[in-house]
A and B are shown apart, each in its own frame.
Chain A
């Protein structure tokens, strides 16, 4: 059976089309809306959402799990029953673009909201008596249209490699489920029962595949939304010049005074058709200048959120402590080390370069003269796609909803595996796996009654 979704859950969704507007709205509806909002939002004036008046707005920040500011937002509150759904509604107006909005939506879900079904806000509005009878038909059409739309997307996915993969995953989960289930109801039959270790191995394999899918989704996101590259390095090593060289136009202020680029500068460009969002950060160094410090703090956050970091060092000097400190911060990220200013003559020692031992790629460039930039571009592409051809046509990526489902499936698989690890009997891991199987069925649209029993009968010789 499908995991039931009830009218009592608090739901969340993007209320605006993602990525197309300057502002994005995330809408929460349900009795826990305010509670969830208070978990992720800090008003500038310090007043919690709980104490806000209905139909009022508040300015503040979305704070993520690491207690860091994700975005500046305007939050509005519409308390039940005077709201669209007649439930408590919180709307978060954040900056446009897919990143912030998706992150905030994910935060809402991590804090107890459920991703809304297509048309669910409207459905609730109707069920709670907000919309009058004459509008009922229209509501049905909305649900229909949205369902059709999502079904089309689903159908498209099912044909793609990802869809095929999820189908296979579901069938693997079903296999495991059947193995365990058969031994419960058919205890007296002469069945060959697979030992727990083997089943656990299977579950771990399935989990691995799901993780890969989620990883792939990240790559898909890169193709859809752009590869986030951060250029890092201490002041005056030529980061802005590199940005210009890659963007092939002047944007950042290129000067020789250390600390000119106090805030991050973004540039969107294409490398072989892949959209790249290039961020030039403030030069990281120890600074007493408070404004600059803020810039530096942001730099570090930009680095954390990026897909790839290009670290720039100056070949006309020696490597100092600041270089190595910056390197320490990026060495676990996907990275490329650029040795810049080769046009001014390289005096950097080999032993110095060796200090960047774990740098994945090292390229000598002259940002000013555009030398080595082609190689750098090639290197950027390879570092993301492991040198493999990445064919968009070939892959249809899982969407946000599917990703959320897969994450839940992963948790359930882990729970089943843990239960088996401590030798709990079959019905306990089965209770997790049944839900996992149904969740995967939600993605593939295959919800088949009695599929477990049917499979037991087809697989085992039953009838003692």
Chain B
């Protein structure tokens, strides 16, 4: 390449390919870290598009959004900016699994995010379809776009979503497209393959959208949001959100009969799609076939935006022919006269097989080449955003020659997400669940800031003032716990009457508030109201103290497990290691480890097919290798 030209023109520190949720976070992170960043997208009108459900958050995903926010990401803030309904999920359960789910005004989200990108220093937006990655000396050097020009940079982050050789399937028709109505990226895959990357195909699908005015809401169950102040971002003040409701209806036997009669048009039977799709989003066709005895399936009608008449049909994903879809939805109560404005469809795309990335999301093969989002096998806006953020920071830190930004699975869900998708064999697009974490009770939404703020601060994305705020919070929690330990309640008649009033039994001897809080029926706010000056700490601090006291046994058990994991996760494995030369490993372990090339002993222990005794042997071998 012409290096003279390169130095003069169009040289960036970081190039981000794609401007979806992964691309936006990646570009913002690197630009905010002061690096000259270029974001390339096929269509500048489709930035931060939400092509499927109009919502952000949910169980597990909430943790991702909050962790991202705590470390300096964008999604939570923009979600707060554009939400038109907020719901608290798992409210009756413990703090670890509570979650927020926002209905988002899609269009507004795009506009807001584009505004932020356009107004971020160091960030340049250009429309163009990348068809080739330029690599020099085994290091990412630039990209070319289909219309001709090349752009050069020190680092590249590929966040191509479903666009690589994207193929849309609807009924028995299929055609090349990244999303409905959008051009695919047909050439980039070959460029990646020629660099030695191994790719496979995944599939995902979306339900039809209806014209809201043609729906009869009168008999449907209304699903409204909260009327109390909430927020995703811990830096934002909590507020009461607009409350545009969703509605709930159900399919019925008529729907199911209709689907069964027309099943030959479904990809299940037609063979139009042979790749794996996400199990958490099965098509209605599949649900009807697999759960023959289920008389009805729920269908949530969700608003796509404040000013849009489009409604999203959560639960009715299908890629049957458009006319069949129309007849099918008309069997559902409330939708008898509804009109489809966009049919549902399936899209099939290339993704990178696991084992080719490090925990920083840099590729093992090509230096300074990073990947994030659906291209590495995930599903979901929140997952994509979290990955984009981590890739963006690491691409930057690499250039700044600073230590990498690695989030571990005992620290946060983002760590679980990354470790899983680079280690496990993926059989479907990966979605986060709280059950994926071994440390659910310590990786809570309420302590996301405490867990991740320091990391974000060290990386340079959290300001001094923000960090100080979190340090102060930690300090106050400790003071509060101390206060609760020292505050004693005497067994007087008066006190025992007060205790009875808040629904608990009397005390026989002088008892600290701390020990009283161990009683499951006691709520700290009640206790504080009757015994202490409530203004001493704010509610949030009291609640944190309560969680720490009430669930101490559980929390300590998980903390000790998390520390144990840290022991073997800090044991790094040299990349050059030849597993076939290690005497004593089982053949399966040799093969799997060679394929995955784990970075740490901890990661090795999570590779399917590697047993604890393989790990013992590996540990001994590494010790020997060390010397």
* Residues of chain A whose beta carbon lies under 8 Å from any beta carbon of chain B: 1-8, 117, 119, 123, 126-127, 133, 136-137, 139-141, 143-144, 147, 181, 184-190, 422-428, 430-431, 434, 449-450, 452-453, 457, 461-464
Contact = CB atoms under 8 A, between A and B. Distances in A.
A324 B478 CA distance: 62
A144 B613 CA distance: 8
B320 to A, nearest CB: 16
A181 B520 contact: no
Nearest to B314: A464
B294 interface: yes
A449 B427 CA distance: 12
Given A2-B612, A428-B94, A139 B433 contact: no
Interface in B265-298: 279-282, 287, 290-291, 294, 297-298
A123 B622 CA distance: 13
Interface string B595-625: 0000000000110100011001101110110
22 contacts: A5-B564, A6-B564, A127-B620, A140-B583, A140-B621, A144-B613, A144-B617, A147-B613, A185-B59, A185-B435, A187-B89, A190-B298, A424-B520, A425-B90, A425-B97, A427-B440, A428-B554, A430-B435, A449-B424, A449-B608, A457-B279, A461-B287
A230 B143 CA distance: 87
B593 to A, nearest CB: 15
B92 A425 contact: yes
B377 to A, nearest CB: 14
B280 A463 contact: yes
Nearest to B424: A449
A386 B520 CA distance: 45
A136 B567 contact: no
B345 interface: no
A140 B440 contact: no
B616 A424 contact: no
A126 B97 contact: no
A143 B290 contact: no
A462 B282 contact: yes
B582 to A, nearest CB: 9
B108 interface: no
A143 B568 CA distance: 19
A137 B617 CA distance: 10
A275 to B, nearest CB: 35
Contacts of B287: 461, 463
A65 B424 CA distance: 46
A389 to B, nearest CB: 38
B76 interface: no
A185 B433 contact: yes
Given A140-B583, A184-B97, A127 B619 contact: yes
Nearest to B521: A422
Which 6 A-B pairs rank lowest in CB-CB distance, beginning with the nearest?
Answer: A425-B93, A4-B564, A140-B584, A463-B282, A185-B433, A461-B291
A430 B438 CA distance: 11
A346 to B, nearest CB: 60
Given A184-B93, A464-B315, A453 B290 contact: no
Given A4-B568, A453-B436, A431 B298 contact: no
Contacts of A425: 90, 92-94, 97
Nearest to B280: A462
A140 B617 contact: yes
Nearest to A188: B89
A449 B279 CA distance: 16
Contacts of B300: 464
A127 to B, nearest CB: 6
Given A2-B612, A4-B561, A190-B298, A426 B623 contact: no
A453 B433 contact: yes
A231 to B, nearest CB: 48
A137 B297 contact: no
A140 to B, nearest CB: 4
Interface-centre pick from B294, B435, B564, B567 (highest chain A CB count, 10 A): B435
Contacts of A2: 605, 612
B20 interface: no
Interface in B348-393: none
Contacts of B260: none
Contacts of A185: 59-60, 433-435
Interface in B432-454: 433-436, 438, 440-441
A427 B298 contact: no
Given A127-B623, A431-B557, A187 B583 contact: no
Nearest to B278: A463
B8 interface: no
Contacts of B441: 427-428, 431
Interface in B397-446: 424, 433-436, 438, 440-441
Nearest to A119: B616
Given A117-B612, A147-B613, A461-B291, 13 more contacts: A4-B565, A127-B620, A133-B624, A181-B435, A187-B89, A187-B90, A427-B93, A427-B97, A428-B551, A430-B435, A463-B282, A464-B298, A464-B315
A133 B565 CA distance: 27
A461 B290 contact: yes
Contacts of B279: 457, 462-463
A26 to B, nearest CB: 23
Contacts of B613: 143-144, 147
Contacts of B438: 1, 434
B558 interface: yes
A190 B297 contact: yes
B59 A184 contact: yes
Given A6-B567, A7-B567, A123-B620, A1 B606 contact: yes
B317 interface: yes
A143 B90 contact: no
Interface-centre pick from A5, A188, A434, A463 (highest chain B CB count, 10 A): A463
B297 A461 contact: yes
Given A422-B520, A427-B97, A187 B59 contact: yes
Contacts of B281: 463
Contacts of A8: 567
A141 B608 contact: no
A461 B605 CA distance: 32
Contacts of A117: 612, 616
B487 to A, nearest CB: 24
B96 interface: yes
A146 to B, nearest CB: 9
Contacts of A136: 620-621, 623-624
B627 interface: yes
Interface-centre pick from A187, A423, A430, A453 (highest chain B CB count, 10 A): A187
Nearest to B99: A187
B382 to A, nearest CB: 14
B584 A431 contact: no
Nearest to A445: B611
Nearest to A434: B438
A119 B435 CA distance: 34
A137 B583 contact: yes
Contact of A141 (B90, B584, B616): B584
A305 to B, nearest CB: 34
B437 to A, nearest CB: 10
Contacts of B557: 431
A139 B438 CA distance: 32
A161 B616 CA distance: 31
Nearest to B281: A463
A126 B567 CA distance: 17
A38 B564 CA distance: 27
Contacts of A457: 279-280
Interface-centre pick from A117, A141, A184, A464 (highest chain B CB count, 10 A): A184
Contacts of B58: 188
Contacts of B584: 140-141, 143-144
Nearest to A126: B620
A430 B300 CA distance: 29
A143 B616 contact: yes
A457 B435 CA distance: 13
A185 B431 CA distance: 11
